[in-house]
Each structure stands twice: as structure tokens, then as C-alpha cells.
Structure 1
Amino acid sequence: MTENEIKGLMEKYLNGTITKKEESLLEQFDGNLLSKNRKGIFKNERHKKRIAKQLSQNIVGPDKRISFLKWTRVAASLAVMASLGYLLYSKTETKEVEEPIVEIVRTTEWGQKLNLTLADGTQVRLNSGSTLKYPNRFEGDMRHVALIGEAFFDVAKNPDKPFVIESGEVRTTVLGTSFNVNTYPDNDQIAVTVATGKVKVASQESEIFLEPNEQGVFNTKTKSMTKERVDITTALNWKKGVIHFEDVPLSQVLETLEKWYGVSFVLDNQNAGNCHISASYDNELLSTVMESIVFAKKGLRYEFLEDHKILIKGKCTD
């Protein structure tokens, strides 16, 4: 008999739906099985009686009586079949089916941010215009996620299962630490900035190790990897809702504001983009930011249009 046929007969037997002919086949199989595996099934006679009693109590109803000898044979068969890798359940048990691993995809629009907690306890702060792909649970010898955009990771420590972030051509590997990854598609650089712990950043061409207040930058055009010390507070301003500009051209300022607030800017005079801005904004409304800019640059004006567009008019007079 095949494995499925044997399992089917055993289930019928335990459910009380087996026919006489099928029961005869099963008993013949039991006899052959016992003759080959009699040794080692039970530790002793006491063990044999205890198993038989447990099976009788768990499976047989009050209206059904089966001889002790038959239950001993059933117990032996179950023990042997379990050793051979068969899985049998009594009618009072429920089969536990392991749920498949599901890939979760979380995306933020421009102007949105999102806090996530992964299955291992890792905390993630997802910046605007970003996508994180991760499983509903981590299995195997690695915790693997994929990032497009920017996110700050506070990774739960697990020395036996490294946490790996795929971001384009760069793979960041940690055991338990906190760091920032910036990998927006429209940027030709992928930057990893470490807050705590130690991080390995690798591409096909090279790899570097980063410690707190260090930033690794991979250039997607030259395929080169560099490392430098940075002010981690400034690098993580976005996480706290702070925007800081230090002598930055207005064109670059507007690009940042587009991502931060989910709007788009139109320059009436392209030369206005060369104006330089130095300012900090701590969780301010967009209208407050715009008033600050036109106050500092007297020749500029702005106008809110439809579809989240803002028109910048005039020119810098500084």
C-alpha cells in the first residue's frame, strides 16, 4: 500500500468509518509493521499499557469498545508510523497548517511619513515618497527587506540573524543598530548614515564598515564608495520634522519642499532659482515656510494654484 492509502485507512479506523475489508487490510499492514519494528516501540510493558489507555480515552467514544490487544497494536502502529514520518491526528485534534509568508508593501506619498514595526520588533520611520517591502515574518538565517526612497531603521538585535536592506545596487547588513538609508531613484547617490552600532555597506565593487556619525555614499554612476564623518543630528532632521537649509539655491529648496509637502512649484522667472536660502523650519505649515522665504527675499512672491501647484514670481533682490 502507498503512504496515502495507509493514512486514509488509519483515519477511517480512528473515525469509525472503516469497512470490514479495509480493516482487514489495515490489520495485515499492522502485523507486518509490528514484526519488522517490534523492538524499540515501547520502553516496557508499563509504557505499552499507558499508551493504549491514552489512545482509548482520546479516540473511542462511550458507545464503542475495542480490545486492549487491538489498541496496543494501534498504539504500536502509530508509534512506528510516527518514526517513519507519518502525521496522524485523532478526531479531537485539528491539523495546524502553517500560514505562507506574505510580502507586505508599504508606500508613502510625497508629504506623508509612516511608522512601521516589523515582525522581529524592528522600528522603521519611512520618509515621504518611499516604499518598503518586507515579509509578515522572518524565517531562515536572514532578515531581508527592500527599500526605495528613505527610511530610518532601529533594528532589533539578533546576532544569529543579520538584518539586510536591499536598496538598488547597495546592500546594508546589520545585527542590531540604528541608521538612515537614502536611496531615492532620482538621486545618483545612495547614502547610509549610522546613528548607533556598526553597519556594513556593500556593492558588487566594494564594501565599507560604518560606525556612529559616519556616512557611506555609493555613486550609482561611477560605482564608487566613499566614507566620511557627518553630523548625525543634521542627517536625521527629516525624522524629527525639521527642514534645514544652509546657503542652498532656491531651486534645490523648492525640490525639498515638493517632497516634504506633496506640492509642485512653477518658476515664473527661472533665474529666481539661483537665489540662496539659509533657514530652519521645525514642523511648520507650508504657508509659514513660504511667508518666511518671501520675507527674506523681498523680490519674490508666491501664489497657490490648483492641483497643489504654487507659482513663484519675481526675482531675488539680495
Structure 2
Amino acid sequence: MKYEQYNTIDFIKDEYFIRWVKDPDEQSEKFWKMWIAKHPEKREEVMHARNMIADLGYKHDPKLSEHDYLEMFEGILKKSRQKSVKKPPLNAPVLSRALKVAAVVILALGSVFTLMKLKPEGKPPTITTVFVSKKSPVGQKIITWLDDGTKVHLNAGSDIRYAEKFSDSLRLIHLRGEAYFEVTRDTSRPFVVKTGKVKTTVLGTAFNVKAYPDENKIDVAVAEGKVKVENESSLTTTFQHTITQNQMASFDISNQLATKQEFDPNEVFAWTKGIIHFNGADINEIITTLERWYGVTFVVNRPLNLDKDFTITYENKPLTEILKGLSFAFDFRFEINDKIVTLN
């Protein structure tokens, strides 16, 4: 039977699914995140099964009987049902089948499930939020998936931070640098990206946020759908813009002013396709971009013309070839030693 036809109990029975929950590796993480992204209608069942398995621990104990296994698993099922208020309770026949399935799977793996210690009745359990960080170092770009199926392209020198499990009402991401988000639609849980003083809120869309800490501007550009861009209410001047496809909101950090304008998608989203695009850039902007893109550090030993505007596109070009062209335009000589680029 294909995974598309699985229900919660089927996922609990599946050995590959269990190994992903209890002992994930790079391959299983990539597979299940991509699978959920392609089948968002199965997300609730997958997460329900995952949470049930996660509430159990593997510990070999041959003294426990099948009856013990069933009693322990029944407790977890009850706990899980209390958490999943949107799903109707399991009837007796279904519960019985689930318990038998669980026992067979556990015994086949040579392990048992042991219950987690619960707080005394009447006292709410302590909930600790576990945060996940994803970083794309300079010289690299990565693609990652969130547990809701959202796909994130991280540009060089960028990172995101978010709760391992989103809440029932919000999907919050903290970003430093630049990222392109392909958001899985979920009207009950808005997707919010925070970048310092600016907050971007969406339900389901594709958009780009550029907010490097060493730059004085934050840009939010929409590829499809609609987003709301606003700054923190604590600032002296507040703004709120709703932008749609091929519109961009730009926030100047120094004067706290925001503008809204049209943009060229081929320029703004070029980096997601391995393309560097400069449009009227000066040499400082070019150097900063090349440092992030290729993971190098520039040492400039001579004054360069800061007034010269440079407009060009490079597609998957080696750094040496780019520097040859720039050296003619800006009249410098260059030397590359390991990760140091010296301009003379």
C-alpha cells in the first residue's frame, strides 16, 4: 500500500516511519519532509502518528509480556487522543486493532515502549519549547523544509530559527540574512517571519525577505499570493503595507521609512537559481555580495571609484572570471590566496 493511502495506524506500523521518528538521518529527514510537502492533506495524520511514537522510548526488556505492551500503549493512545481534540475518539474495535498492531511492531523490533513520566494529576505539565536553527554559511546556499511542508531557500550567510513544533495558532520564523519561502497554506496558522524591526505575515504564498544585519535596508518581495509587512509598534513611526505579486516593501532602518514599489522578479529572485545580478551597484555592494557568495574575504589596498554604477548578471561563474571583468572596469589588480582576495 502506498503512503498516500496510509492512515494514522498504518504510519505507526511502518518500520521506516518509526526509524525516522526515533533515529532520523539525513536521508529519512529529506524524504519525509519532501513527502509531507507534496501531500499536505496527510500532514495531520503524519504528525499525529509521529507524536504518539515520540511519546514512547525504546528500551529492551524481555521480561515484559504482550499484555504489558498493550497496557503501556493504551495509555499513550489516551494521552494522544486528549491532545488531538479535532479528531473523534477511537472506538473500541479500532483501539483494539491499534494496540495489537503496536505490540507486533514493537516485538518485531526487539524493543518495548516505556511511558514517559507524567506530572501528578491536577498539576499542568511543564512545556519546554525546543528551537531549531538552520544556517547557510558564507559560500553556500541551502534548501530546507519545515514540519508544515514549507520549503525555505537560505542564501549565503543567512540563518533561521523557529520552534521545533509550531503552535496551533502560529508559525513563527526568525530570519537573519536572506531567504525565499514557499509557504504551505494553513488559514488557521499564519506564517510570520521576523527580521529585527519588521514582521511579515502570510497564510500561503511564495516571497523573498532580505535582511542582512550589516545592511541598512530590509526588503520583502512577493512572487505569488499576498503578504502583510509591518514594523514593530515600539518604533516612533509605524507602517503597514499589503503587497501582492511582483510588489516589494522596503524599510530603511536609519530613518524608519517604508516604501512600496514594483520590482523585476528576474533580479530579486535570481540568487535562488545560482545567478548573481547587480543593478546599478557600487564596488562596496559588489564586494559584500561576492564575499557572501563565494565565502571569501576582500582586502582592498587602494581607493576605488565609488561613483561607478555597475549592472551585470553572472550565472554560475567562477570568482576568478568575475574578478577579471571587474578589474578592467574598476582598474585594479587582484590576487587570491586561499580565502583571501587582495585588490591592489
TM over 0.5: yes
Alignment partner, residue 246 of structure 2: 213
Match 2:313 to one of 280, 283, 302:
280
Contact 2:136-2:155 at 8 Å conserved across structures:
yes
Equivalents in 2 of 1:172, 1:302: separation in Å? 41
Equivalents in 1 of 2:220, 2:137: separation in Å? 22
Residues 136 and 288 (structure 1), Cα distance of their counterparts in 2 relative to 1, 3 Å cut: same
Residues 272 and 266 (structure 1), Cα distance of their counterparts in 2 relative to 1, 3 Å cut: farther
Show the 5 A alignment for 1:6-155: 95=115, 101-155=129-183
Alignment partner, residue 297 of structure 1: 329
Residues 237 and 168 (structure 1), Cα distance of their counterparts in 2 relative to 1, 3 Å cut: same
Equivalents in 1 of 2:315, 2:224: separation in Å? 24
Contact 2:304-2:330 at 8 Å conserved across structures:
no
% identical aligned pairs: 33
Range with greater deviation from structure 2 (171-180 or 237-246): 237-246
Shift, 1:299, TM fit: 3.8
- Tell me the matched-pair count: 225
Amino acid corresponding to residue 250 of structure 1 in structure 2:
I
Amino acid corresponding to residue 316 of structure 2 in structure 1:
N
Counterpart secondary structure, 1:222: coil
Equivalents in 2 of 1:272, 1:178: separation in Å? 37
Counterpart secondary structure, 2:204: coil
Alignment partner, residue 212 of structure 2: 184
Match 2:222 to one of 182, 191, 194:
194
Equivalents in 2 of 1:230, 1:283: separation in Å? 23
Equivalents in 2 of 1:279, 1:196: separation in Å? 26
Residues 246 and 165 (structure 1), Cα distance of their counterparts in 2 relative to 1, 3 Å cut: closer
Counterpart secondary structure, 1:297: helix
Matched, 1:312 2:340: no
Shift, 1:249, TM fit: 2.3
Alignment partner, residue 265 of structure 1: 298
Alignment partner, residue 29 of structure 1: none
Range with greater deviation from structure 2 (246-255 or 175-184): 246-255
Match 1:237 to one of 267, 270, 274:
270
Equivalents in 2 of 1:171, 1:289: separation in Å? 36
Matched, 1:249 2:271: no
Shift, 1:274, TM fit: 4.7
Equivalents in 2 of 1:257, 1:311: separation in Å? 13
Amino acid corresponding to residue 221 of structure 1 in structure 2:
S
Contact 1:152-1:178 at 8 Å conserved across structures:
yes
Residues 103 and 238 (structure 1), Cα distance of their counterparts in 2 relative to 1, 3 Å cut: same
Equivalents in 1 of 2:243, 2:302: separation in Å? 43
Equivalents in 2 of 1:155, 1:180: separation in Å? 11
Equivalents in 1 of 2:332, 2:252: separation in Å? 35
Shift, 1:238, TM fit: 1.1
Amino acid corresponding to residue 153 of structure 1 in structure 2:
F
Q: Alignment RMSD, CA only?
A: 2.6
Residues 116 and 279 (structure 1), Cα distance of their counterparts in 2 relative to 1, 3 Å cut: same
Equivalents in 2 of 1:250, 1:158: separation in Å? 43
Equivalents in 2 of 1:245, 1:300: separation in Å? 19
Amino acid corresponding to residue 334 of structure 2 in structure 1:
Y
Contact 1:267-1:273 at 8 Å conserved across structures:
no
Shift, 1:250, TM fit: 2.3
Range with greater deviation from structure 2 (261-270 or 187-196): 261-270
Equivalents in 2 of 1:152, 1:187: separation in Å? 18
Equivalents in 2 of 1:289, 1:197: separation in Å? 35
Equivalents in 2 of 1:252, 1:278: separation in Å? 12
What do the CA deviations read for 1:63-120 (whole angstroms, capped 9, x no partner)? xxxxxxxxxxxxxxxxxxx9xxxxxxx9x98536799542101122211111110000
Range with greater deviation from structure 2 (113-122 or 265-274): 265-274
Alignment partner, residue 47 of structure 1: none
